[in-house]
Amino acid sequence: MGTREEILNIIEKNSRIEVHELSVLLGADELLIANELKALEDEGIICGYHTMIDWSKTGLDKVNALIEVKVTPTRGQGFDNIAERIYKYPEVTSVYLMSGGFDLMVILEGKSLQEVAGFVNNKLATLDTVLSTATHFILKKYKDHGTILTKQYEDTREIITP
């Protein structure tokens, strides 16, 4: 029987896999797998099924930025309160609490440099608890979510070997 971890390892890379195929690969009963998937979803372990897209190949305008944010934590709430105020913006794709030189890492997706700059100036920097921001734009993605975007796998082995 495939463990939860095995199920997660597979669907993390291929969220489109069907329950039947999953059951073949793991040598487990189809119904069991279906139930396990349901449980994983219910428990919030599986939080969504996304698609990896290399937007740079589409010709559509997309800008990604990482913003280091220093904030003043609020009494009783720590960083959670301010994090929530930030992650509610739809253009924010990720928010992490960090150790080290700054507090929150905010990852943002926008259509243009101006749009991102506008967000930082008008929305982020003006929040009471935000002390400072440092914005970094992503110039090129080499690898994302474990997938190498710049190169195709090429099989260079001999065709037949003993």
Partner 1 sequence: MRDPLGKKVIGIKPSGIRKFFDIVQETEGAISLGVGEPDFDTPWHIRDEGIYSLEKGRTFYTSNSGLKELRQEVSNYINRTQGVTYDPLKEIFITVGGSEAIDLAFRAMVDEGDEVLIPQPSYVSYEPCAILADAVPVIIELKEENDFRLTAEEVLEKVTDKTKILVLPFPNNPTGAVMEKKDLEEIAKVVIEKDLYVISDEIYSELTYNGKHVSIVSLPGMRERTILINGFSKAYAMTGWRLGYACGPANIMAQMVKIHQFAIMCAPTTSQYAAVEALRNGDEDVSKMREEYNHRRRYLLNEFKKFGLPCFEPFGAFYVFPCIKKFGMSSDEFCTRLLEEEKLAVVPGSAFGDCGEGYIRISYAYSLQNLKIAMERFEKFISKLEH
Residue count (the chain): 162
User: What DSSP letter does each residue of 8-69 carry, written as one string?
Assistant: HHHHHH-TT--HHHHHHHHT--HHHHHHHHHHHHHTTSS--------GGGTT---EEEEEEE
Q: How far is the CB of 12 from partner 1 (least distance, A)?
A: 12
Residue 158 within binding range of partner 1, rule CB under 8 A: yes
CA angle 118, 119, 121 (to 5 degrees): 65
Residue 6 within binding range of partner 1, rule CB under 8 A: yes
Sheet of strand 92-97, all strands in order from the earlier edge strand to the far edge: 92-97, 104-110, 63-71, 130-137
Tokens 């608890």 belong to which residue? 129
| One character per residue 116-155, x = contact with partner 1 (rule: CB under 8 A) | -------------------------------------x-x
Nearer to partner 1, 13 or 62 (CB): 13
Residue 159 within binding range of partner 1, rule CB under 8 A: yes
Among 18, 27, 101, 142, binds partner 1 (CB under 8 A): 27
Residue 10 within binding range of partner 1, rule CB under 8 A: yes
Among 9, 15, 35, 112, binds partner 1 (CB under 8 A): 9
Are residues 110 and 91 in contact, defined by beta-carbon separation less than 8 angstroms? yes
Residues that bind partner 1 (CB under 8 A): 6, 9-10, 21, 24-27, 153, 155, 157-162
